[in-house]
Structure 1
Amino acid sequence: MCLIHKNIAFDTTELSFVDIQAQFKAQFSTLPAIKDGETVLSDSFNIADYLEAHYPESPSLFGGKKGRLMALFFHEWAASLHSDIAKIAIFDIYCKLKDRDKDYFRSSREKHFQDSLENVQSNSQELAKADLLKKMRVLESYLAKTRYLSGDAPMYSDYIVYGTLKWLLSTSNAFTGEMLTSHVLNWYDSLDRIGTGI
């Protein structure tokens, strides 16, 4: 969405978990990642910083130094949801993976959690869902006062939180858009239209 925001033409490549390191010569093992000429980098905030520095004539993702600090806060806040999302949907995610990714995903995640994916989700889902919804209250309160997290128009702060929720809603069988509060849902739907080009 950052590339769409900055009106930068791009091509996408779908990668399996097991292909990431080979594709990027083991420089990193997670996505998102971009290749721009000879520059290759990962991590959403690093990518946004790079785009701001190298495409200054395009619409800003931050809106200045103060906006960048706010974007960094929302970046970290969105990351704080990842643990809850894993506990809500870890087995659902596994079930949606391509077969060639399943062994890697199961072994790496079960090593992290020291339990089976099935047990992690079934034993932790309800508590994690409650914790996530509690964290989301701050978003509802914030969006009751402004159309977007960044103000009148969406920027990085919106995209990083939206992307995190999109991940959850695209993978979980137990967490649906109906669970989002009114202002959050309106905000989410607005960004969804931007992301899908509708």
Structure 2
Amino acid sequence: MTRILYSLSGEDRSRPFSPHCWKVVLALHHKGLDFDEVPLAFTEIPTVENEFSKTVPILRDGDRLISDSFQIALYLEEAYPDRPSLFGGEGGKAMARLVEGYSQTTIHPAVSAIALMDIYGMLAPVDQAHFRKTREAFFNKPLEEVFPDREGAIAAFPAKLQPLRHMLRFQPYIGGEKPLFADYIVFGAFQWLKVVSGSVHLPEDDAALQWFERCHGLAGNAQKPADIAI
């Protein structure tokens, strides 16, 4: 049985960049499950699997289709209970929801402030038009004016990670001695920033960067697109 993970890329299909898709990449490796990754452009997503979802990730596992990274993780936990746990129990699921909230309300906006125009530059013309139309409608201003101070956003980024550094004083992963899905949630945001901007914009001695590099090793046997992106 071939599993298919539909992810997001720009014009270069070897550089999938969605933070939510990267969560699932690491979750699948955590479970030791083989899969084929199929990167899609923004405008291609509604064309696959009979318009199953307007967003990725989408996982096809046999006759099952699942969207949304957290729902995919829950599915993998239930469908493959004999494989290493992504949550370590109900408490781990609750913790992951808190981490998801921190990542999406604090880290993701900080990444967007750095990388919005980098993402735009990665896209083919048809997807640039889609990206500009949807983002300008959301922000109610021209794309170039949404985050005008990129250097300031880079300088401000490390401070957003203080809760992560605090945790790393006591343990190597959010999950404790070993990573759990909560780690992959934050990893996805870091990897998004690295793929689209070329760096995570942290000094080499930063504990958050060292944690990111430890997580990177977990995807060492990833399929070709993921290998290139790393």
Q: Which of 186, 190, 193 is the matching residue for 2:214?
A: 190
Runs of 5+ unmatched residues, structure 1: none
Does the residue aligned with 1:61 lie in a helix, a strand or coil? coil
Shift of 1:25: 2.8
Cα distance in structure 1, aligned partners of 2:110 and 2:137: 17
Unaligned runs of 5+ in 2: 1-25, 222-226
**TM-score, L = length of structure 1:** 0.90
Give the alignment partner of residue 69 of structure 1, picking from 72, 81, 94: 94
Which moved further from structure 2: 1-10 or 180-189?
Answer: 180-189
Contact 2:27 2:86 in 1 (8 A): yes
Match of 2:146 among 110, 114, 120: 120
Larger mean Cα displacement after TM superposition, 154-163 or 178-187: 178-187
Q: Distance in 2 between matches of 1:112 and 1:147?
A: 38
- Hey, what's the Cα distance between the residues in 2 that align with 1:147 and 1:20? 36
Higher RCO by CA contacts (8 Å cutoff, separation 6 or greater):
2
Is the Cα–Cα contact under 8 Å of residues 140 and 181 in structure 1 kept in the other structure? no
| C-alpha separation in 2, matches of 1:92 and 1:156 | 27
Deviations 1:122-145 (A, max 9, x none): 24x355445543321111111121
Q: Which moved more, 1:50-59 or 1:109-118?
A: 109-118
| In 2: Cα distance, 1:77 partner to 1:25 partner | 33
Report the counterpart of residue 29 of structure 2 in structure 1: 4
Question: Structure 1 residues 104 and 181 mapped into 2: Cα distance closer, same or farther (>3 Å)?
Answer: farther
Deviation string 1:65-88 (CA, Å, 9 cap, x unpaired) is: 111111111122111122222222
Q: Give, in whole Å, the separation in 2 of the partners of 1:187 and 1:126.
A: 24
The one of 172, 189, 202 equivalent to 1:178 is: 202
Displacement of 1:32 in angstroms is: 1.4
Does residue 165 (structure 1) correspond to residue 190 (structure 2)? The answer is yes
1:181/1:122 CA distance change after superposition, 3 Å: farther
Measure the CA separation in 1 of the matches of 2:212 and 2:40. Answer: 26
Spell out, residue by residue over 1:135-193, the C-alpha distance to the aligned partner (whole angstroms, 9 max, x if none): 211111111210111011111011110011110122126x6443476211111111112
What count of residue pairs does the alignment treat as equivalent? 196
In the other structure, the counterpart of 1:98 is 124
Matches of 1:126 and 1:177, distance apart in 2: 11
Identity of aligned residues (%): 34
Cα RMSD, aligned residues only: 2.0
TM-score with structure 2 length normalisation? 0.78
SS class of match (2:45):
helix
**2:154–2:201: 8 Å Cα contact kept in structure 1?**
no
Q: Give 1:27's aligned residue.
A: 52
